[in-house]
Structure 1
Amino acid sequence: MTETKPPTPSHAFRPDPGVADPPPREARRPGCRTDHPRLVLTATILASSLAFIDGSVVTVGLPAIGRSLHAGAGDLQWVVNAYLLPLSALLMLGGALGDRFGRSRMLVLGTALFAAASLACALVPSLPGLLLGRMAQGVGAALLMPNSLAILGDVFRGEGRGRAVGIWAAAGAAAGAVGPVIGGWLIDTVGWRAIFLINLPLALAAILLAWRYVQDLHDREAPPLDGVGALLATLALGALTWALTVGSGPHGWTGPATAAGVAGVVLAAGFVGVEARRGDRAMAPPSLFGSSTFVGLTLLTFLLYGALGGLMVLLPYLLIQTAGYSGTAAGAALLPFPLVLALASPLMGRLAARIGARPPLALGSMVTAAGFLLALRIGDGACYWTHVLPAVLVIALGMAGAVAPLTTAVLGSVDPRHTGSASGLNSAVARTGGLIATALLGAVLAARGEALVAAFRLAAVAGAAAAAGAGAAAFLLIRPARPERG
């Protein structure tokens, strides 16, 4: 008599193609599982969109914040850097916290902190209070960003992962498209404080979805947290950022700026030494750099996002200060950039899953460099349609070729135990690139008239060189790999 297997109950979990099977109980590693992958994707999109929207909206609001709080060029740099500094320094720790205590839990905690800090930014009466609120936003983003990506790495696989990451990047770009326009309108009609209130409904929806539909899988053997490494990274980035901000300003590289720069280098060297001793227990495990591919991805991320971070601060500032744009118009001027990313990123994510990440990363970086060279045509009285728009479109096309393939490549390049640390490290490198670029903009933000235009063009040349360097890193260091199949 032949034994027959009982039918699978109709309510049993059947993952879609491209959705990872839950691991056996005895083989579980830190990660997440769900019976509702689409709702999980929605939760990660809503949470990470907080960081995308906040970054784009605040750059449009810098002139209004400066007038309202009597802030100079150096102060405006810190409105951006007070957010980027803790974000850059703590992203790796945020990923490690997710690996140890649960990625969904850290996503919820970070989103809640970001929302509370946004409310504080909208209510504070002075510049120091705004800077403290921005720092708290950075801490919240450091928790939610790496864990949103790590959750996608857990829940999806193969081409499904590339498609999910592409949708994630596209949705973030779409949020970035709406944010500056709505933010500019709020600045012109209500005031700059209203731009921080945009974050509250998004945060609430993300928290509810993640709390309800994402299940954490815990690793009881996870190593202790790397508190010393986190402290050294924070102090090193703080010292270097302060040195670059002051050194690029009117006072130049005087004694305090030089001393802070030296201290930052020493602290960074100490961080590298601590991480090397801790090995795989470090928040930035040295084993991640065991292949030229991960090194190439890291270098590309730093250069490409550094160039982009400088552009996103300078272009709306230039348009408002020299061309007389309103906040709404300056936000709308950037609209084609995230729209192109929103349309192209899902396609590029699927393409990278099939042919590998190196071709789109190399080509996308070079196209981005060409867009920065087109930005040299932007000046006082430049026509938007013939001078600004072509540069924005070409940069957007290049970035669309790189964003989703880069994220997919990072998630697929490491052991599943380290996806939180790897995504945290990659996000940290991206934000550090933007942090350093912003810290170097003191002379540009302090300039006026033709001097501002000349400084902007010099920054555009530097952005083109950085993007070209990113393309070279992709071509020379990233090894061709067989596409992952679901």
Structure 2
Amino acid sequence: MAETATTQARSEPPLPAARALLVMVTLLLATAMASLDSSFMPLAFADMIDDLDSSTNQIVWVALGYLVAATGPMLLAARVADAFGHARLFQIGATIYSLAMMACAFAPDVPELIGLRLVQGFGMALFLPTTFTIATRIFGPERRGRALGWLQAANALGFILGPIFAGWLLDAYDWRATFWSRIPLAALIIVLAFAALGLRRPMALAGASRRFDLAGAVYLTLAMFGVLYGCTQLPVEENWRDPWSWLVFIAGFVFAGLFLRHERRAPEPLIDLGLFTRSREFTRAAVAFATMFASLPLTLFVLPIVLINALEMRAWDVGLIMAVSALFTTLMSPVSGWASDRFRPEIMSSTGALVRGTGYLMLLAVTVDSSVAGLLPALIVIGIGTGLFFSPNNALLLAHAPPERAGMVSGLFGTLRQSGYALGFALIASLFAVIQKNFELDWVYTGLGELPAASATRLAAIFQAGGIWSPGLLIFILRVAVLACTAILVLSLLNSLPRLHLSWRRQLAAAVALAGLAFGGSFALSTLLPGGMTVAVSDADATAVVQPLPAVAPFGMARRAAVDVAPAPAEHAAAPFGQYCSACHGMRAEGVAGLGVDLRQSAFVRSQDLEGLKRFLRSGRDPSSPENRTGRAMPAFGWLPEATLDELARYLREAAASPR
């Protein structure tokens, strides 16, 4: 293959220096744009959930859909680029990616946003693997290291500056700004892709086979989708009762088996499974690499949400913290590469996993009163550990692979990285959603059961505003995620230690033991939950005003001063509507911009009789419902007394009939 590549390179005259520089600028901008996306999304999740009126287990597919679409076709895309030209695939992929990213800024709801992210991920799968090949082809073997170094620098720059830029955009605007702010860059990259690379140099590999493992790419994509869908959906919203969710989940494992069977028999497989069977060291390094990425959702998903919602930090401050961590990763990467040449790479990669795990455990000290300065030490340690791990680990993977498979192993980096991160992301996101749901049901409603009816009704109205996003609960979720991700990271450590060889059975046993330890630690943390509530009320009058709740310390932590909830204005005639509906629809049903429609002009309200409106109030409406016109959830009020539902329905009918 090296000989044919050289022959192909000789058949194409070298580019002029100015043209080569323009090509390199195009590659650098495209690489930076892709890394900006990865650093923007973690900060934007909290605002997406709020603005799109969505839930955690829905919004995670904004990231997971992107990862699935980017991972499944990536190895196939590299083969297609060899046959038809790396320049062609870069141009097509960059165009698809850029146009989809532009459209994301105008997505009206979560389903459409997820669909566009799927297209964007597919575009990334086409163009990103070609950047290294094009850079090598343009600058030749003698300047290859310098060119690849610049690409790595562009990638690191995106991860360092991305969180800062995203934080400023989210403070000044909203999550859509993280997309539309990159529209000028995307447009420039489309123009440069065709202007710099042109149409006369496809940069195909001479003699490259045009037999593609399309079936393998399809099996891999469907396997990832099925497993990730099951991991995110089955644990929440009683989806374990849904046969469809189980069918998709089981189908994911079936397609994974078909993928492995197919790859063993395919004449030109996407992944040579012999890499894993012939070398135990290669397998250990691959498992360590994938599990390291599976542990990253702690800092790239849970931590930003907790800092913004629980600690009430500005997105700008959170971006600075994450940028500092990325900076230390970038600074330590060349140091670890140098050190791994002098010492054993296994020692450096295991040291990196150990240091990052130490940083994870330092996050257990985070409270609702933690400051930016208090968080920086943990994030710096995490960044140092990450920088120490990757270069030696990648060197191990390449050192234990046959030279003729070096290209396949380079492509395998992306597959292991994306699939490991996606699986970890799905598991941690499900854990996040499950804890929220369970505590909303078990903790809140247990508390309501201990209160008089009048107090319980008032407290239920307060929790309708988002009790599952309380600072205490989010800090608890962070601590559980720390234990879970540390357990995943220990698997990376075990597979990085020199002279420690684990069979697949021992790998599985270690994973089960670590999961048990993480579960036990989470159970120990749950003992910090409050045992009950005490509310002072007047027994003489069932409608007496509830006194303020006394200070409590849920989850073992002191809370900020409580914010008084203002009662509905006395002049409003419809008390139930003012209590349950006015926050989104206004005190007179006139609607609130960005929250609820004007019910006085609602065709749906006019078309329903009293019984129809009451049925609607009892069941609510999901954001994904075909009848939903706003993309926002309509909460269910089935827990309200029949008399209250009747009064709400009558008021809606009167509002729809009143003159505007």
TM over 0.5, shorter chain: yes
CA drift of 1:408 comes to 5.2
What does the per-residue CA deviation read over 1:326-380, in whole Å, with 9 as the maximum and x for residues that have no partner?
A: 2222222212111112333344345546666433322212211111111111232
Moved more, 461-470 or 255-264: 255-264
- C-alpha distance in 1 between matches for 2:348 and 2:70: 27
Q: 1:171 corresponds to which residue?
A: 154
Q: Which has more radius of gyration?
A: 2
CA drift of 1:299 comes to 0.8
- C-alpha distance in 1 between matches for 2:500 and 2:154: 27
What does the per-residue CA deviation read over 1:411-431, in whole Å, with 9 as the maximum and x for residues that have no partner?
A: 666566644532332212111
Q: Which of 471, 476, 486 is 1:454 aligned to? A: 476
Gap regions ≥5 residues in structure 1: 1-19, 480-486
CA drift of 1:321 comes to 1.2
Q: 1:147 corresponds to which residue?
A: 130
CA drift of 1:181 comes to 1.8
- C-alpha distance in 2 between matches for 1:300 and 1:35: 43
Q: Which of 317, 327, 346 is 1:339 aligned to? A: 327
Moved more, 449-458 or 39-48: 39-48
Q: 2:361 corresponds to which residue?
A: 373
Q: 1:234 corresponds to which residue?
A: 221
Moved more, 357-366 or 213-222: 213-222
Equivalent residue of 1:188, what SS?
A: helix
Q: 1:68 corresponds to which residue?
A: 51
Equivalent residue of 1:334, what SS?
A: helix
Q: 1:77 is matched by which residue type in structure 2?
A: V
CA drift of 1:138 comes to 0.9
What does the per-residue CA deviation read over 1:443-481, in whole Å, with 9 as the maximum and x for residues that have no partner?
A: 4154533222222112112222222321321234899xx
TM-score in terms of structure 1 length: 0.83
Structure 2 matches for 1:431-442, cutoff 5 A? 431-440=418-427, 441-442=429-430
Q: Tell me if structure 1 keeps the 8 A contact 2:30–2:189.
A: yes
Moved more, 228-237 or 20-29: 20-29
Q: 1:25 is matched by which residue type in structure 2?
A: T
Q: 1:395 is matched by which residue type in structure 2?
A: I
- C-alpha distance in 1 between matches for 2:27 and 2:274: 27
CA drift of 1:110 comes to 1.8
Equivalent residue of 1:270, what SS?
A: helix
What does the per-residue CA deviation read over 1:291-348, in whole Å, with 9 as the maximum and x for residues that have no partner?
A: 2343223212211111113420111100111011222222222121111123333443
CA drift of 1:261 comes to 2.4
Structure 2 matches for 1:247-286, cutoff 5 A? 247-251=234-238, 253-256=240-243, 257-279=245-267, 281-286=268-273
Equivalent residue of 1:475, what SS?
A: coil
Compared CA separation, residues 146 and 318, structure 1 to 2 (3 A): same
Equivalent residue of 2:284, what SS?
A: helix
Q: Which of 471, 474, 482 is 2:493 aligned to? A: 471
Equivalent residue of 1:284, what SS?
A: coil
Q: Tell me if structure 2 keeps the 8 A contact 1:294–1:478.
A: no
1:25 and 2:18 matched:
no
- C-alpha distance in 2 between matches for 1:59 and 1:390: 20
Q: 1:48 corresponds to which residue?
A: 31
Q: 2:157 is matched by which residue type in structure 1?
A: A
Compared CA separation, residues 275 and 141, structure 1 to 2 (3 A): same
Moved more, 197-206 or 364-373: 197-206
Q: Tell me if structure 2 keeps the 8 A contact 1:241–1:439.
A: yes
- C-alpha distance in 2 between matches for 1:317 and 1:392: 15
Q: 2:412 corresponds to which residue?
A: 425
- Percent identical residues: 26
CA drift of 1:271 comes to 0.5
- C-alpha distance in 1 between matches for 2:148 and 2:390: 9
- C-alpha distance in 2 between matches for 1:258 and 1:178: 41
CA drift of 1:382 comes to 1.7
Q: Tell me if structure 2 keeps the 8 A contact 1:47–1:206.
A: yes
CA drift of 1:32 comes to 13
- C-alpha distance in 1 between matches for 2:296 and 2:13: 32
Q: Tell me if structure 2 keeps the 8 A contact 1:183–1:195.
A: yes
Equivalent residue of 2:266, what SS?
A: helix
Compared CA separation, residues 432 and 219, structure 1 to 2 (3 A): same
- More helix per residue: 1
Equivalent residue of 1:474, what SS?
A: coil
1:298 and 2:286 matched:
yes
Instruction: Count residues with an aligned counterpart.
Output: 457
Q: Which fold has the larger relative contact order, with Cα–Cα distance below 8 Å and residues 6 or more apart in sequence?
A: 1
Q: 2:174 corresponds to which residue?
A: 191
Equivalent residue of 1:359, what SS?
A: helix
Q: 2:196 is matched by which residue type in structure 1?
A: R
Q: 1:129 is matched by which residue type in structure 2?
A: E
CA drift of 1:45 comes to 3.8
Q: 1:397 corresponds to which residue?
A: 384
1:212 and 2:229 matched:
no
Q: 1:244 corresponds to which residue?
A: 231
Q: 1:136 corresponds to which residue?
A: 119
Alignment RMSD (CA, Å): 3.5
- C-alpha distance in 1 between matches for 2:186 and 2:403: 27
Equivalent residue of 1:238, what SS?
A: helix
Q: 1:333 is matched by which residue type in structure 2?
A: I
